[in-house]
Structure 1
Amino acid sequence: MGARDLFYRQHLDREEKKIGPSPSSGQAHQVKPKYFWGNDPESEEAYYASQNIRSTSSFFTSGSLSLFTRCWLPPESRPQRGLVLMIHGYGNDISWTFQSTPIFLAQNGYACYALDLPGHGRSQGLLKAFVPDLNAAIDHCIAYFNSVINLNYQQQQQQHLKCFLYGESMGGAICLLIHLLRRVEFSGAVLAAPMCKISDRIRPRWPIPSILSLLGRFMPTLPIVPTANLVEKSVKVEEKRAIASANPLSYLGKPRLGTVLELLRATDDLSSRLSDVTIPFLVLHGSADVVTDPEVSRDLYEKAKSEDKTVKIYEGMMHSLLFGETDSNVAMVRADILEWLNHRTNPN
C-alpha cells in the first residue's frame, strides 16, 4: 500500500468512526458492490475495455495537496473531438456514478479529465467533505486543468481541440467561478443542476443561519448542520439510490459548519454576478430539483451576456440528472449534452 493509499484508508477509517454507517447502508455485514456497475467485470481496466474506452488515473500535486485525477479517452482508432474538463459535486467523487458521463462522452470522441476536489474521494484535504475556502478549491482545479491543456497541446500540435468545462451541482458553480476569474479561456461550459444558489427548500431557516455563523467561528469542522438526506432528495429511482449510497468514497454525514457557510457565501455571490457571465453554456436542470434551484438556472439564462446560451428544464426530473433518473431520462439528457458539444466542435 502506497503512502497516498495509506493516507486515504486511515482518513476514511477516522471518518467512519465519526459519522457511522450511512442510513441506507443497512447492517455492517451487508455486502456492497465493489464498483458502481457491480462486481463484474472484476477490474476497472476490464470494465473500461468493455465500454470501448481508455482510462488512467494518477495523483496531481497542487500546493501541499495530492489530488486524485482520472482521464477517460476515446479508443486510439477514433479521433478526439474535444476536451472536457469536469468537476463533481459536494460530497461526491469521480470514481463512482460520476464516471458514467465521461465514459459516455469518451465513447463519442471526447477526452475527459476530472479530479477529486480537496477533501473528497481519494484526494487529500483537512477533513472529508470540508470546504472552508472555495477559492482555494478553484485554484487547485485551474492548476490541474492548465496541466491537462498544456499536455494536450504538446500531444496534439497538428490539431487544436476546443476545451469545455463540465460541472455538476457545486461543480457547476465552480465552473462559472473559474470563468469569472478569466484566467483560462474555454470554448463553453455544460452545467448540470448548477449550485448557483442553494435551494430555499433545503437552506437552513432563520434563525439557524445566524446561529450557525456564530458557531462556525469557533467550530467550523463540526458536522451538525440540519439538512435533508441528499441522496433521497437527488436520486429518483430507488434502485439507483442504493447504488449511490453504496459509494465507499462519498460523504453522507451532515455538512460541516464551515462548509455550509462557505457555500452560502459563494453561491450568494455567484447569484449576484450572473450578468457577468459571457461564456457559451448549456445549463440543465430538473423542475423537481429541491437541492439546487431551477429558477436560478433560468435567471442565469436570462441575465448572462453570453451570445451562445441554452437552458433546458426537464419536467419532473430531480437533482441527479445524469444518473438518478430513469434510464430513458438519463439518455435524453446525455443526448442533449452530446448534441450541444458536437454542434460546437463540428469542423464544418
Structure 2
Amino acid sequence: METPEVSSGSVPRDSTHFTNADGHKIYYRRWVPQHAPRAVLFLCHGVAEHIERYNPLASTLADKGILVVGNDHVGHGKSEGIRVDCRNFREYVRDLLQLVHMVKDEQPNIQSDIPHFLFGHSMGGGVAILAALDSPGLFSGVLLSAPIVIINPEQATSFKICLVRATALLFPQLHVGSLNFDHLSRDPEQVKAYINDPLVYTRGMKARWSLCALNALQEIEERLRDITWPYLLMHGSDDQLVLKEGSEMLHEKSQSEDKTLKIYPDYRHEILNEPKEYSDVVVNDIVSWLEERIS
C-alpha cells in the first residue's frame, strides 16, 4: 500500500486562501478588472491540475471587465489535502460554493445585481453542474468545457467497476488508471508544459477518487432533466478522455430554454490549450456568449 502524498499547502504569504469544512487551507486567486466589474465568473478546474493554468482565459475576461475567481480543489495545486483524493466528490462542490458565498459577502463594492457565472472544465464541469443544480438562481449561466457526464463503457466495464470498489475500500491510494497525455491537446508544447508543471499531478487516478467520480457521474446522469439554467456547452470532437456523447446527452435532456452546444471538429480534451489559432476560437466564443448575457 503506497503512502499518501500530502501537501502542507505551501501557500505563499501574499496568496489568498480559505479554510474549508475539513480544516484544509484552500488556495484561491482573483483576476480583478481595472474598473468596477460588470460580472463575476467562478472557475472550476479539472482533476490533477490547478487554477493557475486558466490564467490566459481569466486575464482575457478581466480585461473585459469581468471579475474572475477560482480555487485549487482540495488535494490539488497549492491547496492542502492528500493529492488527488477525496472521500466524496461533493467535497469539491462544497468548497466551490463556500468560495462563491465568501466572495459575494466580501465584495460590498460589487453591485449585487451584476450577473454571476460559473465555468467548469472536465471534472470541474461535473463539479459546476452539481453546484448549479444544488443552488438554483445563484448563477446567471454556466459554461462547461468537456464536462464529465457519463462513464466511458470501454474504460469502466462492470468488472473494472467492481474492482475499483473493492480496491477503494482496501487500498484507497492505489493508482488504478493512467492518462495518455497526448490526448490533452494537439499542441506538443502544451502537453510538455502540463507534464513539467510541478503543480500538476501526473501519477494517475487513485482508487478512492475514481469511485467518488463514478458515484458523482451516476448522480449527474440522473439529474440531467433538472437542468434549467442557461449554459454554453463545449466539447472537442476528438476528445479521448471525456466522451462528447455525455455533452450531447446533457444537451438533449436538459430543460434549459437558453442552451448552446458547440462541438469543435478535431479538438482534443483541453479545448483552451489547443494550438493558438484553435484555442482563440473557443475564447472568442466564451467572450461572445458572456457579452450577450451581461449587456
TM-score of the aligned structures, taking structure 2 as reference length:
0.92
- The 5-angstrom pairing of residues 1-348 of structure 1 reads 7-8=8-9, 57-63=15-21, 64-76=23-35, 79-95=36-52, 97-125=53-81, 127-152=82-107, 154-157=108-111, 160-182=113-135, 185-201=138-154, 203-223=155-175, 225-229=176-180, 231-323=181-273, 325-346=274-295
The answer to which of 100-109 and 205-214 deviates more is 205-214
One-letter amino acid matched to 1:275: R
Distance 1:249 1:88 in 2: 13
Q: Secondary structure at the match of 1:197?
A: coil
Displacement after TM superposition at 1:293 (Å): 1.2
Q: Percent identity at matched positions?
A: 28
Q: Secondary structure at the match of 1:131?
A: coil
Q: CA RMSD in A?
A: 1.8
Displacement after TM superposition at 1:181 (Å): 1.2
**1:76-130, Cα deviation, whole Å (9 max, x unpaired):** 4xx42210011100001012x22221111112211100000000001111x1011
Displacement after TM superposition at 1:206 (Å): 4.3
Distance 1:270 1:318 in 2: 23
**1:41-66, Cα deviation, whole Å (9 max, x unpaired):** xxxxxxxxxxxxxxx84011122111
**1:302-346, Cα deviation, whole Å (9 max, x unpaired):** 1111111100000110110011x1101100000000000000000
Displacement after TM superposition at 1:245 (Å): 1.1
Runs of 4+ in 1 over 4 A off after TM superposition: none
Distance 1:315 1:156 in 2: 39
Distance 2:267 2:79 in 1: 31
Distance 2:230 2:279 in 1: 23
Displacement after TM superposition at 1:185 (Å): 1.5
Displacement after TM superposition at 1:300 (Å): 1.1
Displacement after TM superposition at 1:214 (Å): 1.3
- Unmatched 5+ stretches in structure 1: 1-5, 11-55
Q: Secondary structure at the match of 1:117?
A: coil
Q: Secondary structure at the match of 2:106?
A: helix
Distance 2:266 2:138 in 1: 34
Displacement after TM superposition at 1:183 (Å): 6.3
**1:189-245, Cα deviation, whole Å (9 max, x unpaired):** 0001111124345x244422212211211111222x13332x221122112111111
One-letter amino acid matched to 1:343: E
Q: Is the 8 A contact 1:199 1:290 kept in 2?
A: no
The number of residue pairs the alignment matches comes to: 286
One-letter amino acid matched to 2:42: L
- Unmatched 5+ stretches in structure 2: 1-6
Displacement after TM superposition at 1:184 (Å): 5.8
Displacement after TM superposition at 1:182 (Å): 2.3
Distance 1:311 1:110 in 2: 23
Distance 2:38 2:269 in 1: 28
Q: Cα distance 1:149–1:9, how it changes in 2: closer, same or farther (>3 A)?
A: closer
Q: Cα distance 1:183–1:300, how it changes in 2: closer, same or farther (>3 A)?
A: closer
One-letter amino acid matched to 1:118: V
Distance 1:69 1:183 in 2: 24
Q: Secondary structure at the match of 1:102?
A: helix
**Equivalent residue for 1:22?**
none
One-letter amino acid matched to 1:210: C
Q: Cα distance 1:198–1:101, how it changes in 2: closer, same or farther (>3 A)?
A: farther
**Equivalent residue for 1:36?**
none
